[in-house]
């Protein structure tokens, strides 16, 4: 089984998503945050179940599409995955070096 590590940047993204949705409905915000958080559990068993992120031009950065959100993750090896960011699909993704710097990872 693969270990999944949430970076601080990804956790902040998840909190921001919840805060935004909560302006309209606390219940919907809670449902969405839980859904996004729980949806990465598939990666424990199937780490390559997402798609490669073409914007980053590397084989190691993948994404899961859940609802209108992209969960971007780094496949470090066959034992560990780091969740880098969660973004609404209408938003541009941050540059990869920004993700590395904010996640305390080295490329």
Question: In this structure, what are the phi and psi dihedrals at residue 97, rounded to the nearest 5 degrees?
Answer: -60, -35
Gap between the Cα atoms of 40 and 4, Å rounded:
8
Q: Give domain limits for the chain.
A: 3-102
Q: What is the pLDDT of residue 101?
A: 60
Q: What is the pLDDT of residue 78?
A: 87
Gap between the Cα atoms of 14 and 55, Å rounded:
21
Q: What is the pLDDT of residue 95?
A: 76
Q: What is the pLDDT of residue 10?
A: 92
pLDDT in tens, the chain (107 residues): 899 999 988 999 999 999 999 999 999 999 999 999 999 999 999 988 899 988 887 888 999 999 999 999 999 888 999 999 999 999 888 776 656 665 554 44
Q: Which of 86, 87, 82 is nearest to 100 (CA)?
A: 82
- The residues, any chain, with a CB within 8 Å of residue 4's CB and separated by 6 or more, are 40, 41, 43, 44, 80, 81, 82, 83
Q: What is the pLDDT of residue 56?
A: 83
Gap between the Cα atoms of 64 and 20, Å rounded:
21
CA 12 vs. chain centroid, Å, equals 11
Q: Domain 3-102 class?
A: alpha beta
Q: pTM for the full model?
A: 0.86
């Amino acid at each position: 089984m693969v270990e999944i590590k949430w970076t601080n940047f990804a956790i902040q993204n998840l909190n921001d998503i919840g805060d935004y949705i909560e302006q309209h409905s606390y219940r919907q915000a809670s449902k969405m945050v839980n859904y996004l958080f729980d949806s990465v559990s598939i990666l424990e068993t199937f780490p390559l179940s997402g798609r490669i992120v073409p914007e980053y031009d590397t084989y190691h950065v993948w994404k899961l599409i859940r609802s209108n959100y992209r969960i971007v993750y780094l496949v470090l090896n066959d034992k560990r995955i780091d969740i880098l960011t969660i973004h609404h699909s209408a938003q541009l993704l941050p540059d990869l070096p920004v993700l590395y710097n904010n996640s305390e990872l080295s490329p």
